[in-house]
Amino acid sequence: MDLSNQIILVGGVLSLLAVFAGIASVRVGAPVLLGLIVVGMLAGEDGPGGIPFDNFQAGYLIGSIALAVILFEGGISTKRGMLKRALWPSISLATAGVALSALIVAAAAKLLLHAPWPEGLLLGAAIAPTDAAAVSVQLRVSQVAVPARVVAALELESGLNDPMSVFLTLALIAFMQHPGSFSFGHELLTFAWEMGGGAVIGLGAGYVLMRSFSRLETAESVFPVLALGVVLVAFGGAQMAGASGFLASYLAGVVVGNSEHPAAQPVTRFFETLGWVAQNALFLMLGLLVTPHRLVPLLEAAALISAVLVLIARPISVGVSLAPFRWSAREITFISWAGLRGAVPIYLTIIPLLEGVGTGQRLFDIVFVAVIISVALQGPTLNVAARMLGLRGEASPSG
């Protein structure tokens, strides 16, 4: 009983610290996720909190639930106008852009860190995706005034690119563990099912929710609970079936957010709040998982990878992905700079650890530091970048 009470007390204290850290981060212009991760690190075994937490299985579970909620909330806020402005460019960024970025980072890891190609590719696959929570929160907090289609592309990309990175991560782990039985044909079929199955499950879940909201006669307070249950079923069911739970959660939110039904207001408000709770829990957990003294020897390697990612891989991948759509050089440059990393890359590096990949811990630590560097550098400078590029005030950022 005492242990349970202590856990509740510590959880409450960390929640309060996370709230104040988020408020303080906004006031000083720092990314919110940075403040939350710092709180988690201070509470961890190397910090004054001294909490020993190295349960990566629990971390994966917490991360999965949190991301399902965050992506569904992101889908709800993705309006039809955003889809019209930037759907196909965003799909290009979320697929070809992720793959190209991963390849460039892998080449840099091979050249600069002397990592084997499989390890370098795994590093690139994990760190390639932008993060839905990091991107949307920083754009809103910074109140960056850029063309609406730029905001749409950034938010849509961050909601759609997780399946590609998950596929690449799992495929590379399979190759590293069983190179003799690896088949490109099988992996292509797996990718097709991951994307197609996730889309079907997500759209189906959204339709079920929409019909339920319209037909059920019950208290408004029941609708958000119903939505949460369906989202978790869609995410977990898709993952169990080998499809993308991330895509399923996001597309379910898109359907609900673009449909007329009596539950629109209570569901939106509920998931806006729950999204913040999920974000706080996710970043606090990631901060607790890190052992800071292990990061020091990897600072140089992580800084090099972060520099390659931000200055080379991201600009090239964005430029190539958007080339067919005739976007201006200024828009491409801003999208390159605003591709913030966050919880997703760190979360993805938990998978190699759980699968017993020998370099999993090194990968986790490098990606963690690289993400922190990227967010600390790019997040506070979005307004400066927009002004320097002459984008500020060109159009409303609303979707």
The CA-based angle 58-349-11, given to 5 degrees, is 35
Domain range for 238: 56-388
Tens place of pLDDT per residue across the chain (399 aa): 678 888 889 888 888 888 888 777 766 666 777 888 888 998 888 888 888 888 999 999 999 999 999 999 999 999 999 999 999 999 999 999 999 999 999 999 999 999 999 999 999 999 999 987 778 777 777 677 788 899 999 999 998 998 999 999 999 998 888 888 778 888 889 999 999 999 999 999 999 999 999 888 888 889 999 999 999 999 999 999 999 999 999 999 999 999 988 888 999 999 999 998 998 889 899 989 988 888 889 999 999 999 999 999 999 999 999 999 989 999 999 999 999 888 889 999 999 999 988 888 999 999 999 988 888 888 888 888 888 888 865 443 444
168: Cβ contacts below 8 Å, ≥ 6 apart: 98, 99, 102, 121, 125, 128
Q: For residue 44, what are the β-bridge partners?
A: 51
Q: Would residue 393 count as lying in a domain?
A: no
Q: Which token pair is 279?
A: 């974000």
- The total domain count for the chain is 1
Q: Would residue 101 count as lying in a domain?
A: yes
Under a CB-based contact definition with an 8 Å cutoff, are residues 376 and 153 in contact? no
Residue 68 to residue 195: CA distance in whole angstroms: 16
Q: Would residue 142 count as lying in a domain?
A: yes
287: Cβ contacts below 8 Å, ≥ 6 apart: 36, 37, 38, 39, 40, 41, 42, 43, 44
Under a CB-based contact definition with an 8 Å cutoff, are residues 164 and 95 in contact? yes
Q: What is the pLDDT of residue 47?
A: 86
Report the amino acid identity of residue 241: A
Q: Would residue 1 count as lying in a domain?
A: no
48: buried, middle or exposed (CB in 10 Å: 19+, 13-18, 0-12)? Answer: exposed
**CB atoms < 10 A from the CB of 226, how many?**
17
What stretch of H or E contains 130?
none
Give 22-31's long-range contacts (Cβ < 8 A, gap of 24+): 22/280, 26/141, 29/142, 29/380, 30/376, 30/379, 30/380, 31/134, 31/137, 31/138, 31/340, 31/375, 31/376, 31/379, 31/380
The predicted model scores a pTM of 0.89
Under a CB-based contact definition with an 8 Å cutoff, are residues 393 and 385 in contact? no
22: Cβ contacts below 8 Å, ≥ 6 apart: 32, 35, 36, 280
What stretch of H or E contains 211?
helix 184-215
Residue 58 to residue 163: CA distance in whole angstroms: 21
Residue 212 to residue 194: CA distance in whole angstroms: 26
Q: What is the pLDDT of residue 396?
A: 39
Q: What is the pLDDT of residue 399?
A: 40
Domain of residue 209, CATH code = 1.20.1530.20
Q: Would residue 338 count as lying in a domain?
A: yes
Q: Would residue 260 count as lying in a domain?
A: yes
Q: Would residue 40 count as lying in a domain?
A: no
Q: What is the pLDDT of residue 34?
A: 81
